[in-house]
Amino acid sequence: MYVRVLEREGRALATAAETAGSDAEVPNCPGWQIRDLLRHTGTVHRWATAFVAEGHTSYHPDPGLPDLDGEELLAWFREGHGQLVDTLSSAAPDVECWHFLPAPRRWRSGPGARRTRRPCTGSTPSRPPAPPPPGSTTRSPWTASRSCCSASTPAPRAGSAAGSRAGCGCG
């Protein structure tokens, strides 16, 4: 179930990012632009994939943020998201790998369950808002959602570690 949520939400993030453009601001992550969100989330996806795919049983640092933008960044994000979904979908039910939070018992079964629930929460709330209909004063439900990053979290820059930003619930 969680892999399906991750797959759906990652695709929705990519589609919304493509529509909004890499310069657009992310309202629920002050100071972040779409490019920052895609770099960060894409790095976290690749980082999490490595733990399951390579069977790391201890912490490994992330590879750092890419210096990509525009269509190249979006293609990179989609590729990494697809790799994470594929890796979790094909993981053995008893896969052993390092994880940074213990999973509640109800989440400890099925392929990649421990690694799945956290990327789901990281991908979902950060999605950029859908543009409101012309003349509408209604807020997008995404802007009202819980943010993945605290207001004090600076926007990530190319080369910085995904897990190093204090206050970020994604990495």
Closest CA to 116 of 88, 91, 93: 88
CA 125 – CA 146 distance, rounded (Å): 6
As a whole number of angstroms, the distance between CA 125 and CA 137 comes to: 21
The pTM of the full predicted model, rounded to 2 decimals, is 0.67
At residue 153, the pLDDT reads: 44
Length of the chain counted residue by residue = 171
In this prediction, residue 105 carries a pLDDT of 55
Place of tokens 């859908």: 130
- Average pLDDT per 10 consecutive residues for the chain, totaling 171 residues: 92 96 93 96 96 92 95 98 96 86 56 47 49 44 38 46 40 40
pLDDT given at position 132: 46
State residue 148's pLDDT score: 45
Kindly give, in sequence order, each residue whose CB lies less than 8 Å from that of residue 21, ignoring residues fewer than 6 positions away: 34
Q: What is the pLDDT of residue 85?
A: 97
d(CA 64, CA 54): 18
